[in-house]
């Protein structure tokens, strides 16, 4: 199941893709990571899907990552007398804590934390921004607003407050239960919704760390403007980041979303953290077997920008053509990465290595691989650190990420260019080179006469110690000196 591309594909599972057969078809079509959306479905549903993924792993002998996506707080208006109302531009409209049924003059909003954070002039968006209100007067339990953009409002429509930081945790009681369950069942990544500030990520980290032995990684979803204000700190505290363009596009002007996408991807590249671009990437394929040209271009742009992964949501969870959507995304990525301009753009956007031994080795590995025309870069890693630094360099060659830790192997399935391989820890330089050569050949990346670049940390088995670079040339196994020979030892 060798992938002939670098950017990864995340496929969301749901009613259209829940059986073992459907999950396998998505993997074969190109899915590298499966997302379990905890906004929908029961714990039993998610456990059954995870079990099917783990059985598929055994069948295909390839680590597969599972991303558990927490719902986060959902701010919603209450019910209306007739189910829905229409409010007109320029009219006054009141939101308050009174649970009485709403009218075209007022509606219940049973979220005191919203009223506590409002200022005169703050805007409230209803139904993904279709209705826009501006606060003229407010108190602890109400807000009198002026309707800037009117329209229809119905029961339980979502409310967004883009220009204030709400005094709430990103983890509701439901999220806490879901987080506990996701960690216990063995998810590899936790996606944290409604991140507003660095302390939100720190809170999630503390809860995950409370599980003895758990090393699940945290992916922060950037969907609030306040998160952009703390972008660098949030990236530093996270293991990965998602550009959640749906909510971000509601709370920010639409014309800013492409700019923010590039800014976030660039910042993650600089930090060496995986970054995912998500939401409506092939949205028309929910009901159509082919995407629009604009959607194909959207996916391509994320790949040109250097995203580690692109994500499918409703396209695979509830759409009519889940397998076709993954196949199309795989084809788009493949075509982009074959384009000569892709490498020009990638090389031009390469970042200076940090002043550390591991970055110096990783940068040198990319340069040596390019100069020698090597077939692959093989990283031996215990924590994933060596692989992540190699991926930060965006080399031309595939990265074979060799680890003895199944959790790390699965987590690296999200990382650009990384091809995860499970193997026992190496104990010597000779064994390291032997395994590197063996895996490069057995996985279909190299053949006799090819060179492979090897990076690792000494002493072996300790994380964050990348300090070795070696070059080996694959030779005939019947040669007097064996199946490989050292070209250099650094």
pLDDT of residue 484: 62
Structure tokens at 458: 């000494």
**Domain spans of the chain, in order of start:** 8-72+171-339, 84-160, 357-489
pLDDT of residue 351: 84
User: 12, 145, 279, 465: which one is catalytic?
Assistant: 279
Annotation says 290 is catalytic? no
Provide CB contacts within 8 A for 109, sequence distance 6+.
75, 77, 78, 95, 96, 97, 115, 143, 159
Residue range 165-178: average pLDDT? 94
Higher pLDDT among residues 154 and 460, named by residue: 154
Per-residue pLDDT at 478 exceeds 70: no
Bond prior to 386 in cis (omega within 30° of 0): no
Minimum mean pLDDT among 32-41, 206-215, 283-292: which range?
206-215
How many Cα atoms within 13 Å fall on the side-chain side of residue 458?
12
Bridge partners, residue 159, by sequence: 126
Fold of 357-489: Pyruvate Kinase; Chain: A, domain 1 (3.40.1380)
Yes or no: say if 62 and 420 are a contact pair by the CB < 8 Å rule: yes
Whole-Å CA distances, 96 to 109, 401, 425: 5, 55, 61
Bridge partners, residue 379, by sequence: 401, 455
Per-residue pLDDT at 272 exceeds 90: yes
Residue in 288, 284, 281 with CA at minimum distance from that of residue 310: 281
d(CA 298, CA 37): 23
Residue range 348-360: average pLDDT? 89
Polymer length of the chain: 490
Annotation says 366 is catalytic? no
CATH code at 8-72+171-339: 3.20.20.60
- Is this model's pTM higher than 0.85 or not? yes
Bond prior to 420 in cis (omega within 30° of 0): no
Q: Alpha helices of 352-486 — where are they, by DSSP H?
A: 357-372, 385-392, 406-411, 429-442
d(CA 138, CA 58): 58
d(CA 116, CA 139): 8
Average pLDDT, the chain: 94
Residue range 375-380: average pLDDT? 97
pLDDT of residue 431: 93
Per-residue pLDDT at 490 exceeds 60: no
User: 3, 5, 8, 35: which one is catalytic?
Assistant: 35
Per-residue pLDDT at 175 exceeds 70: yes
Annotation says 145 is catalytic? no
Per-residue pLDDT at 489 exceeds 60: no
User: 76, 84, 262, 263: which one is catalytic?
Assistant: 76
User: What band does 487 get if pLDDT is binned at 50, 70 and 90?
Assistant: low
Yes or no: say if 36 and 69 are a contact pair by the CB < 8 Å rule: yes
User: For helices 322-338 and 340-348, what crossing angle results, to 10°?
Assistant: 70
In this prediction, what percent of the chain has a pLDDT beyond 70?
Answer: 96
Summarize pLDDT for 71-105 with one digit per residue, the tens.
Answer: 999 999 999 999 999 999 999 999 999 999 999 99
Residue in 249, 68, 96, 75 with CA at minimum distance from that of residue 168: 75
pLDDT of residue 464: 67
User: 3, 157, 221, 389: which one is catalytic?
Assistant: 221
Per-residue pLDDT at 485 exceeds 80: no
Structure tokens at 151: 């329209």
Yes or no: say if 418 and 391 are a contact pair by the CB < 8 Å rule: yes
CATH code at 84-160: 2.40.33.10
Per-residue pLDDT at 315 exceeds 90: yes
User: What band does 325 get if pLDDT is binned at 50, 70 and 90?
Assistant: very high
Q: To which residue do tokens 């409506």 refer?
A: 280
Yes or no: say if 452 and 472 are a contact pair by the CB < 8 Å rule: yes
Residue range 404-431: average pLDDT? 94
Per-residue pLDDT at 43 exceeds 60: yes
d(CA 220, CA 193): 7
In this prediction, what percent of the chain has a pLDDT beyond 90?
Answer: 86
d(CA 103, CA 299): 42
User: What band does 480 get if pLDDT is binned at 50, 70 and 90?
Assistant: low
pLDDT of residue 246: 87
Annotation says 76 is catalytic? yes
For the chain, the distance separating the N- and C-terminal CA atoms, rounded to the nearest angstrom, is: 33
């Amino acid at each position: 199941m060798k992938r002939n591309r670098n950017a990864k594909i995340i496929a969301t599972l749901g009613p259209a893709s829940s059986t073992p057969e459907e999950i396998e078809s998505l993997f074969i079509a190109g899915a590298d990571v499966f997302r379990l959306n905890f906004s929908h479905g029961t714990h039993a549903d998610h456990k059954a899907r995870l079990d099917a993924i783990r059985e598929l792993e055994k069948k295909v002998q390839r680590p597969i990552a599972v991303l558990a996506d927490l719902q986060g707080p959902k701010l919603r208006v209450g019910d209306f007398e007739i189910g829905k109302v229409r409010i007109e531009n320029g009219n006054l409209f009141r939101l308050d804590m009174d649970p009485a049924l709403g009218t075209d003059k007022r509606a219940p909003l049973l979220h005191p934390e919203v009223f506590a954070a409002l200022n005169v002039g703050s805007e409230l968006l209803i139904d993904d921004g279709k209705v826009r209100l501006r606060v003229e007067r407010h108190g602890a339990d109400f807000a009198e607003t002026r309707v800037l953009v009117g329209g229809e409002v119905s029961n339980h429509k979502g409310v967004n407050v883009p220009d204030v930081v709400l005094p709430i945790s990103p983890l509701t009681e439901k999220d806490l239960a879901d987080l506990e369950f996701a960690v216990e069942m063995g998810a590899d990544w936790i996606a944290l919704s409604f991140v507003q500030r660095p302390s939100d990520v720190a809170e999630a980290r503390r809860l995950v760390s409370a599980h003895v032995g758990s090393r699940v990684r945290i992916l922060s979803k950037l969907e609030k403007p306040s998160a952009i204000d703390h972008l660098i700190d949030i990236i530093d505290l996270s293991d990965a980041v998602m550009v959640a363009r749906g909510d971000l596009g509601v709370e920010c002007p639409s014309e800013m979303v492409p700019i923010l996408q590039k800014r976030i991807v660039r910042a993650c590249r600089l930090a060496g953290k995986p970054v995912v671009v998500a939401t409506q990437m092939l949205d028309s394929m929910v009901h159509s077997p082919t995407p629009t040209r604009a959607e194909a271009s959207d996916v391509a742009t994320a790949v040109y920008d250097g995203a580690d992964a692109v994500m499918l949501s409703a396209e695979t969870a509830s759409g009519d053509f889940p397998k076709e959507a993954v196949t199309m995304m795989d084809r788009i990525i493949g075509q982009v990465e074959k384009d000569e301009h892709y490498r020009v753009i990638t090389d031009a956007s390469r970042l200076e290595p940090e002043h550390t031994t591991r970055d110096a080795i990783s940068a040198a590995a990319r340069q040596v691989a390019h100069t020698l025309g090597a077939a692959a870069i093989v990283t031996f890693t215990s924590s994933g650190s060596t692989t992540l630094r190699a991926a930060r360099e965006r080399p031309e060659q595939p990265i074979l990420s060799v680890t003895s830790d199944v959790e790390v192997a699965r987590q690296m399935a999200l990382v650009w260019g990384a091809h995860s391989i499970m193997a026992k820890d190496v104990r010597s330089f000779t064994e390291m080179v032997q395994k590197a050569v063996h895996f490069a050949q057995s996985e279909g990346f190299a053949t006799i006469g090819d060179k492979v670049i090897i990076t690792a940390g000494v002493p072996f088995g300790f994380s964050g110690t990348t300090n070795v670079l070696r070059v080996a040339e694959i030779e005939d196994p019947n040669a007097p000196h064996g199946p490989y020979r050292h070209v250099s030892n650094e």
